[in-house]
Amino acid sequence: MSAKRAILNDAERRAWLRLARTQNVGPTTFAALLARFGSAAAALAEVPRLAQRGGGAGPLRIPSDADAGRELETLAGLGGHLIAACEPDFPEGLAALDPPPPVISVLGRRDLLKSEMVAIVGARNASALGRKFAAQLATDLGRAGFVVVSGMARGIDTAAHEGALASGTCAAVAGGVDIIYPPENTALYERMKVQGAIVSEMPVGLAPQARHFPRRNRIISGLARGVVIVEAAEGSGSLITANYALEQGREVFAVPGSPLDPRAKGTNRLIRDGATLTESADDVVSGLRAPRGRIFSEPEGASTPEPLGIDDKEADRIRREIEELLGPSPVEIDELVRQCGAPVPVVLAVLLELELAGRLHRHSGNRVSLG
């Protein structure tokens, strides 16, 4: 998003929410639609046509204006707020992502989202020493002026939140902000609503599903200036968070562990790969000390973009070529552009139509596949 921000009026807010909740529209597709049509309302009017052009089997599920109004009313009834990515209150770290989540729901202290954050994440089946260290690290980072962000999972996440409650902590969750998961964290959740903040890009009332957790992890790392991994087995969700942090240009810190403990395999590998070995909050603070402050730069692009003119006939010609080039194996978009020899906006427009039709899958590394 560009640095130009504006508070949405009620109609614009409902349009942003409707587009964000539309079937097959994720953050990348939302950003592409906004860039092409200039506003969420204009994009909503064109989405059915684009999905049909992409070969969609049936009509997309697009929430009505009343549906959006009900979600906003429910959130307000919980004491929460919806913040769009174009608004001044949207966290700087998330606004700097390319693309950012279009909207987030927030319960609790919104002021914490303006603070500098450090993420602490790790194993759900954490050791007693790992939990103790995470809690102490969170307490010390809070005293150093950082808000601690984590995912409210059992284990390391829970210990980090509890250690930072007094100074300020934020939980990014995989379901709606009103869903307590895991259930044993009910008491922590109630305290977080008062002393901390709870953030989600998912609709109110939605139970977390496995596919939501990577998006939750992206928000954890996006909010933070750095991510500390306390315990993590190979292939764990905590390492996904570390990978997002690296992609986002955040600092990665890892706590070493015994080579005999499988929960240390991931963290020890991160250290071998260049993560900062972390034994105390001082290691984290010194790693983030220069430069402090305004480190997040937002990608050029646009809260108020100029609509792009795309010729449908040109898109039809390129679509046939792109469908031939694509298959079940992911390919970089830059490679598609090179082989097509077509203007980038036209290639992106075709990919957008295929995604809205439910035929295109996006992968890490700016890659796509057909399936």
pTM above 0.75, yes or no: yes
CA 13 to chain centre: 19
Length of the chain: 371
Residue 123 and residue 233 in contact, taking contact as beta carbons nearer than 8 Å: yes
CA distance 35 to 307: 6
Cis peptide before 100 (omega within 30 of 0): no
- Among the listed residues 230, 200, 225, the one whose alpha carbon sits nearest the alpha carbon of residue 215: 200
pLDDT of residue 296: 66
Contact yes or no for 328/370 (Cβ under 8 A): yes
* Residue extents of the structural domains in the chain: 10-89, 108-288, 312-370
Q: What's the pLDDT score for residue 272?
A: 97
Identity of the residue numbered 56: G
Strand ranges inside 42-122, DSSP E: 81-84, 103-108, 117-121
Question: What's the angle, vertex CA 250, arms to CA 125 and CA 107, rounded to 5?
Answer: 65
Q: How far is CA 185 from CA 1, 153, 171, in A?
A: 35, 8, 12
pLDDT in tens, the chain (371 residues): 334 578 899 999 999 999 999 999 999 999 999 998 999 999 999 999 999 999 988 889 999 999 999 999 999 999 999 999 999 999 999 999 989 999 999 999 999 999 999 999 999 999 999 999 999 999 999 999 999 999 999 999 999 999 999 999 999 999 999 999 999 999 999 999 999 999 999 999 999 999 999 999 999 999 999 999 999 999 999 999 999 999 999 999 999 999 999 999 999 999 999 999 999 999 999 999 855 444 666 555 434 444 456 777 888 888 999 999 999 999 999 999 999 888 888 899 999 999 999 999 999 888 999 98
Whether the Cβ atoms of residue 248 and residue 221 lie closer than 8 Å to each other: yes
Provide the pLDDT for residue 1.
Answer: 39
Q: Identical fold at 108-288 and 312-370?
A: no
**Hey, what CATH topology would domain 108-288 get?**
Rossmann fold (3.40.50)
- Domain spanning 312-370 has what CATH number? 1.10.10.10
Helix (H/G/I), strand (E/B), else coil: 152: coil
pLDDT at 145: 96
